[in-house]
Amino acid sequence: MSDAGQPRGAARQPLSRGVIVEEAIAVIDEQGLTALTMRSLGARLGVEAMALYRYVNGREDLLEAVVDDLVDRIRLRPDDVTGPLDGWQAVLQRLAHSVRTIAVDHPKVFPLVATRHPSAPWLRPPLRSLRLVEEFLGALTSRGFTDRQAVGAYRIFTSFLLGHLLLDAAEHGATTGPVEEPLDEGDAAVPAPSPKADVSDYPTLLRTADLLAEDHTEAEFEAALEALLDRLDLLLSQ
């Protein structure tokens, strides 16, 4: 990692979208989200800000790419999804720890995963990619869950992860505030989320699309609260 204010990357490898995203993550890790501008990032990479626009369409596009990069690191390996020796509990444990690694390693970046607009309103952070949700649902339905049970587990699991990991990130120095207003730096518009995301390449998502779109937030809150009270009651009785 280079000293603050000194250009990095230009002497090591040619400029590319991947290099720009990696450097943007480093800036946020070191200095926080507000320090990331196209001008400061260009100076850090040893180029004019305009050179970055060959690869990203402005700061908002860059933030989307940062989120995509982090989420793409969260993986259920093929053997995790189909391996007959692993129960669903082991799969979810590995997935939870994989997500937590991202939150702990990049606490100042992780709130972006929670607050950026997903491509479809039923995609819940931090498992906010079609690939991840397909793998999650497929892992559970291949292990005995019905479609409805798997979708319910997806909602419960993501709520648990997000609550705990945002607290973890805050304890490691992150600022967890409201969604940022887009800055006018280049062609930076963020597309509105669409309820009709293209899931044609994801058979489990295609089959469960209507279930995912159902709104059970009030009932889920009450169920989670009751489960918490039951757990505290058990703790008190021990």
Q: Is the pLDDT of residue 83 over 90?
A: no
- Find where tokens 């800036």 sit: 27
Contact 96, 156 (CB under 8 A): no
pLDDT digits (tens, 9 = 90+) for 221-238: 788 778 877 877 787 787
Question: What is the average pLDDT across 41-64?
Answer: 94
Contact 91, 139 (CB under 8 A): yes
Q: Is 166 exposed, middle or buried (0-12, 13-18, 19+ CB in 10 A)?
A: buried
Q: In whole angstroms, what is the distance from residue 159 CA to residue 8 CA?
A: 38
DSSP designation for 139: H
Token pair for 186: 């280049």
φ, ψ (nearest 5 deg) of residue 218: -65, -45
Q: Is the pLDDT of residue 43 over 60?
A: yes
Taking alpha carbons only, the member of 142, 133, 160 closest to residue 86 is 142
pLDDT digits (tens, 9 = 90+) for 16-30: 999 999 999 999 999
Q: How confident is the model at residue 56 (pLDDT cuts 50, 70, 90)?
A: very high
Q: In sequence order, which residues have a C-beta less than 8 Å from that of residue 181 and are 6 or more positions away?
A: none
- Residue 185: the pLDDT is 45
Token pair for 185: 């730096």
Q: What is the pTM of this model?
A: 0.77
Q: What is the mean pLDDT of the chain?
A: 81
Contact 60, 68 (CB under 8 A): no
